[in-house]
Chains A and B, each alone.
Chain A
Amino acid sequence: MSTTETTASGVGPVEGAPVYTVDNPAPLIEAPRKRTKKTPRSTRGNFELAAWLFMRLSGIVLVVLVIGHLLIQLVLDGGVSKIGFAFVAGRWASPFWQVWDLLMLWLAMLHGANGLRTVINDYAERPNTRLWLKGLLYTATVFTILLGTLVIFTFDPNIR
């Protein structure tokens, strides 16, 4: 019978006369979780993705830097027995090795800090424990990176 009228109004014949027409449209219902002016632009960001990618990119660079470092310090030219203040002074006389060690320090510290952050997130279950462990981790990481950077930049071969 009046099937076209029923689909247009949204109200079946049983309920009676159609409530909404073209001249009297139904109120618009806002979609759930719709972005409004009050919604923050992003609630999370891409930090975890960036951290995941950083682990892989820094890992590839660190394989070269660290294995090269091990070869120089522990294998070539008498291994560990040659290391001393004079050896360090000789190496850091060259900007190449200064940059090598600086890059290795920053990448290894950040790579390790992010790794330990993951480990803490996985095993420390109480929010307070996580807070303290991560606070300790970040403090130690910042301190060590700054100390190492300072040492490389202010190294003085004629300290005595």
Chain B
Amino acid sequence: MPAGTLYRGREGMWSWVAHRVTGVLIFFFLFVHVLDTALVRVSPEDYDKVVATYKTPIVALLEYGLVAAILFHALNGLRVIAVDFWSKGPRYQKQMFWTVMGVWIVLMAGAIYPVLGHAARVLFGS
């Protein structure tokens, strides 16, 4: 690690850090996801067996995390585009960051039941 960095902190830097971290995580999942989908060329049984693990409560929680990463990366990506191409973008980057966080929280609240409902029924009975 370089000693004495120029990192400034606050919304600008932390959104950049989060964009990188979520981007790398999504990319690694994408490799796995293409491989598991490729099992449809092997046999229906093998595909369904692997997809069954996606329906377990623990993986459902990971899916909720994946949705969180994708939604943040998507919303913050639109903010980056606005900063780059909209003349007033750089001036409003902080306000846009907090808008991103607000929309993200609303969408994540909305995703709780659809993504985790199945796992809750498995764990606690329907």
Does the CB pair A112–B54 fall under 8 Å? Answer: no
As a 0/1 sequence over residues 90 to 126 of chain B, the CB contacts with chain A under 8 angstroms (1 = contact) are 0000000000000000000001001101100000000
Chain A neighbourhood of B30, CB < 8 A: 108-109, 112, 144
A116-B24, A144-B31, A144-B34 are known contacts. Are A159 and B41 too (CB-CB below 8 A)?
yes
Partner of B84, one of A56, A109, A140: A56
Query: CA of A155 to CA of B37 in the docked complex: distance in angstroms?
Result: 11
- Whether A81 is near chain B, meaning CB under 8 Å from some CB there, is yes
Q: How large is the interface on B (under 10, 10 to 19, 20 to 34, 35 or more residues)?
A: 35 or more
Q: How far is the CA of A116 from the CA of B63 in the complex (A)?
A: 22
A-B contact pairs, 23 of them (CB 8 A): A56-B80, A59-B81, A67-B70, A67-B71, A70-B70, A75-B114, A80-B54, A80-B63, A81-B118, A83-B54, A83-B55, A85-B40, A85-B47, A88-B37, A113-B27, A116-B23, A119-B20, A119-B23, A119-B24, A154-B41, A159-B44, A160-B43, A160-B45
Chain B residues in the interface with A (C-beta under 8 A): 20, 23-24, 26-27, 30-31, 34-35, 37-38, 40-41, 43-45, 47-48, 51, 54-55, 60, 63, 67, 70-71, 74, 77-78, 80-81, 84-85, 111, 114-115, 117-118
